[in-house]
Structure 1
Amino acid sequence: MSCENAITVSAVSKKFELYDNPSDQLKQFVFPRVGRFFGRHGRNYFREFWALSEVSLEVRKGESFGIVGRNGSGKSTLLQIIAGTLTPSSGSVETNGRLAALLELGSGFDPEFSGRENIYLNGALLGLQKSEIDERFDAIAGFADIGQHLDQPVKSYSSGMVVRLAVAVQTQVEPDILIVDEALAVGDALFQKRCFRRIEQLLDDGCSLLFVSHDQETVRTLTSRSIFLENGRVASYGRTSDVLFSYREYLQKVEESEFRELQRINNVASVKQTPAKSYGNLDVEIISVRVTDSAGVEQSTFYAGDDLHIRIECVAHVAAKNLNVAFRIRNKEGVKVTTWGTLNEDMPRNLEHDPDVFWLREFGSGESFTVCFSGPCSLSANLYEVQAVVALEYDRYYGNQRILHWIDEAAHFSVVLRNREYVFDGVCDMGLRSYVVE
């Protein structure tokens, strides 16, 4: 294992034996042994299921690394193997440093013990001496913030209190490697904020993070590299933004596969193929995305406060209505700054009396149209990416949609500040203005 790596996973596979009924498990235990005694090779009474197949990855020291994939893709199995609670069928895993894992929270607690006793029990399991736990005890208790319940049996705790105590123990022992598997999704908003602050502090101190979540925005924000697992295999591995694009593209293909089956049943033409960095069935296709000034001239740099226009040109390949043309802007750190679309403007409008409701417009096959979004550029100095989308919205409230065409990196632009005229810090200027209260 390289001394630069916190985790090295080499060609790990994991096989499970699936039995149709309990009696088959008993047969599997007895009959093969009897057969081998007589020199025979009997049949197996189970079906093989490979949860992981030849998975390899490396997490560098101090790196934050993400794992994404649908339920059943092998994410949790991989984490359990890395944490040492499962043994791989083949391959190897090496870790370098103290490892703390937020997997099945509270699974290591004794329900008859008090919270205080379980802190010492879990600390010992993590390799800490009693004196080390004594030093960290106040920090753990303060982070958990369960008050007088700390000296009550864990079996009397609510699920939220168990989560608080488990997270407090694992994050306050100053691990070299922290594994998080959707654990923070179960806490309340304030506790989640406290957890993310603690994770950021651990990362600043050189801790390596292995993070699993279905929340793609959190994965993008917290991690620099990621892996996408599909049916136990590595589908994509590399920079987080690229991996998340592959994952979204995969999810779209799954949805389109289901939709194509409906098309087949209803004898509708099959969907068109899409270019790289985009996905969708192209019933309505985005032809171009341009960022321009008010005169329609394409620009790559804007001063904060300038008028900015995002022009999305589309063509309908089939008759279409109930559309939403929208965009998303991210900064170079991958933070989603804003999203906006025609549906956002349609939501408060009166369907019967407002002629400008875009959602009600009907477009014929072959018809082209352009939607332009305009306003003052209130973004701070940075490099920005524009993502564009046209979607079929089955209602007017973002409740149910189908992506027709999505494009990543559809356009880019930079924002700079006039440092002697208009200066602010952060993500954007909220437009707040001061006044004196007499």
Structure 2
Amino acid sequence: MSSDFAVSVANVSKCYSIYERPRDRLLQMLSMGSRRYAKEYWALQDVSFEVRRGEAVGIVGRNGSGKSTLLQIITGTLTPTSGEVRTNGRIAALLELGSGFNPEFSGRENIYLNGALLGFERSRIDDLFDDIAAFADVGDYLDQPVKTYSSGMLLRVAFAVQVQVQPDILIIDEALAVGDALFQKRCFQKIERLLSDGVTLLFVSHDQESVRTLTNRAVLLKKGRVAAFGVSSEVVLEYRRQLHDDESAYFGEIAKRIGDKAAQANAVKLDVSAALPEAQAQESVGLTGASRSDRLSFGDGEAKILKVETFTLDGEPATVFYPGDVVRIRMTCQSSITTDKLNVGVRIRNKEGVKVYSWGTLNQDMARRARNESDALFWTHTVQAGEIFQVDLEMQCALGVNLYEVQGSISYEETPDYMTQRILHWIDEAAFFQVLMKRDEYFFGGVSDLKMRASW
């Protein structure tokens, strides 16, 4: 492996033997391989990728896709059935919470224990101890057995040890999810400092925005295989598409079973496809085998976004705005069915991939319902099959200087509260606009204008 690479995973596979009964394990041993008493379960199959030194790589995938197994093989706590993993540098891993901790030892004693497991002499841990204790910030509990710790306190101590010893490769597997918001913020700040110092990061998280913004590249695992490997934003889009397709198939199967049962019972036929609630939709985009427009959109298809445009308040097409301007986003859509209960919305992201804002017609409808207003609701408006309709969404521009992407969506909302949503069409990169600043007239720094005022 080249010295430019920190981690090399080559054709790694991991197979587990699944026994129906405990005694089958003994029978398997006695059979000397002449008969199979176990079923094979391949947690990983032919996984290959390389991580360069100083690179941040995310690993995403549904539960059971093989993420944790892969990380355990990389750290050396599991042996692959076939294939090879090579690493350059000292690894610090935050995998299962509390792994490497003795529950009877105090936090202080476990800090020294973990340091020893990482290959450090006691004198080195002595030098680092104050920094570790300060980052963990568990107070007097530091001298109490860790079996009395909450999961958040355990995370604090474990993370503090791993990052203060300045590893060459840092591996994190979902552990940060148990921390409070303030500690997570401190963790991400520390990770960013480590990355700037050249530390290599392997990061597993279901928080797609964290993967998108914290990592350069990402690996998508599906049923133990690499489904995509590339730029993080594109891999996350593919992951979202996968989630949407899986959920659509799941609820479609439920609808089929309900329909079959109703038919057998000679029940009245129901349009279950429209009545079934679907989980909050996941946005996604594919990476291979499709045109760019196909890769940037998905949905069930009963309605479609034809185009998304940006205008000034006067109705003039525009792609450049200044703070204080009115931005009008026009969504032109077409329905292939006659329906109501629709929601037309947008998500706005800056060029760094951070979601700045999301809003839809249903947000306005919910507010009007809460105030018992008599104004018409878009949710109750019926569109006819084949009808082309437009929805204008307006906002006062309070954004900082940046390039912004508009993502468009049209969804079916069984209830007017975002609780039973089914995405009909979602499209990324539907439109772009830029915000500039007239420095001599009105100026502020940051991502948003908080309209601060001074007094004295």
For the Cα contact (< 8 Å) 2:368–2:375, is it kept in 1? no
Alignment counterpart, residue 110 of structure 1, candidates 77, 102, 110: 102
Tell me, in whole angstroms, the C-alpha distance in 1 between the residues paired with 2:205 and 2:400. Answer: 29
Look up the SS of the partner of 2:369 in the other structure: coil
Query: Counterpart of 1:281?
Result: 300
What amino acid maps onto 2:178 in structure 1?
V
Shift of 1:270: 9.8
SS in 1 for 2:109: helix
Q: 1:194 aligns with which of 177, 186, 192?
A: 186
Residue 84 of structure 1 aligns to which amino acid in structure 2?
G
TM-superposed CA distance for 1:49, in Å, is: 0.7
- Which of residues 204, 210, 213 is equivalent to 2:205? 213
Q: Which residue identity does 1:314 align to in structure 2?
A: C
Structure 2 residue 172 is matched with structure 1 residue 153: no
Question: How far is the alpha carbon of 1:376 from its aligned partner?
Answer: 2.4
What is the aligned partner in structure 1 of residue 323 from structure 2? 304
Contact 2:169/2:199, CA 8 A, preserved across alignment? yes
Gaps of at least 5 residues in structure 1 are: 33-40
- Residue matched to 1:87: 79
SS at match of 1:298: coil
Distance 1:263 1:275, change over 3 A: farther
Aligned residue pairs total: 427
2:426 to 381, 395, 406: 406
Cα shift at 1:69: 0.5
TM-score by length of 2: 0.89
Q: CA deviation at 1:13?
A: 0.8
Name the residue aligned to 1:291: 310
Query: Which residue is 1:15 aligned to?
Result: 15
Matches within 5 A, 1:227-238: 227-238=219-230
Residue in 2 aligned with 1:35? none
Aligned to 2:397: 377
Indicate the SS of the match to 1:389.
strand
Higher deviation after alignment, 397-406 or 343-352: 343-352
Say if 1:417 and 1:423, in contact at 8 Å, map to a contact too: yes
RMSD of aligned alpha carbons = 2.1
Q: Aligned-pair distance for 1:4?
A: 1.5
Q: TM-score when scaled to structure 1?
A: 0.93
Measured against aligned partners, the alpha-carbon deviations of 1:266-315 in whole angstroms (never above 9, x if no partner) come to 497999x9933110011111111111222333323223332211111111
Deviation at 1:227, TM superposition (A): 0.9
For 1:383 and 1:168, locate their aligned partners in 2 and report how far apart those are by CA, in whole Å: 37
The alpha-carbon distance between structure 1 residues 197 and 353, as it changes in their structure 2 partners (threshold 3 A), is: closer
Structure 2 CA distance, aligned partners of 1:157 and 1:263?
Answer: 46
Moved more, 78-87 or 107-116: 107-116
CA distance in 1 between counterparts of 2:365 and 2:231 reads: 36
Amino acid at match of 2:186: R
CA contact (8 A) 1:68 1:213 kept: yes
1:343 aligns with 2:362: yes
**Identical aligned residues as a percent:** 55
1:370 CA drift (Å)? 0.9
Deviation at 1:245, TM superposition (A): 0.8
Determine if contact 1:59/1:65 at 8 Å carries over to the other structure: yes
| Rounded Cα–Cα distance in structure 1 between residues aligned with 2:390 and 2:149 | 57
Q: SS in structure 1 opposite 2:31?
A: helix
Are 1:124 and 2:119 an aligned pair? Answer: no
Residue identity in the other structure for 2:339: A
Residue 324 of structure 1 contacts residue 341 of structure 1 at CA under 8 Å; is this kept in 2?
yes
Q: Give 1:67's aligned residue.
A: 59
Alignment CA distance shift 1:157-1:264 (3 Å): closer
* Structure-1 separation of matches of 2:209 and 2:414: 25
C-alpha displacement of 1:148: 1.7
Contact 2:411–2:423, Cα closer than 8 Å, also in 1: yes
Partner of residue 166, structure 2:
174
Cα displacement (A) at 1:97: 1.2
Q: How far off its partner does 1:75 sit? A: 0.5
CA–CA distance in structure 2, aligned partners of residues 262 and 133 of structure 1 = 56
How much has 1:353 moved relative to structure 2? 5.0
Q: CA–CA distance in 1 between the matches of 2:255 and 2:316?
A: 41
Whole-angstrom CA distance in 2 between matches of 1:78 and 1:187: 23
Q: Is the 8 A contact 1:256 1:280 kept in 2?
A: no
What does residue 129 of structure 2 align with?
137
Match of 1:27 in 2: 27
Match of 1:184 in 2: 176
Q: Please give the alpha-carbon distance, in whole angstroms, between the structure 2 residues aligned to 1:48 and 1:396.
A: 46
Aligned with residue 378 of structure 2, among 343, 346, 358: 358
Residues 199-241 of structure 1, C-alpha deviations (whole Å, 9 max, x = no match): 1111121111111111111111111110111101111110111
Once the two structures are superposed, residues 172-218 of structure 1 have per-residue CA deviations (whole angstroms, 9 ceiling, x without a partner) of 11111111111011011222122112111111211111111111111
Question: What is aligned with 1:427?
Answer: 447
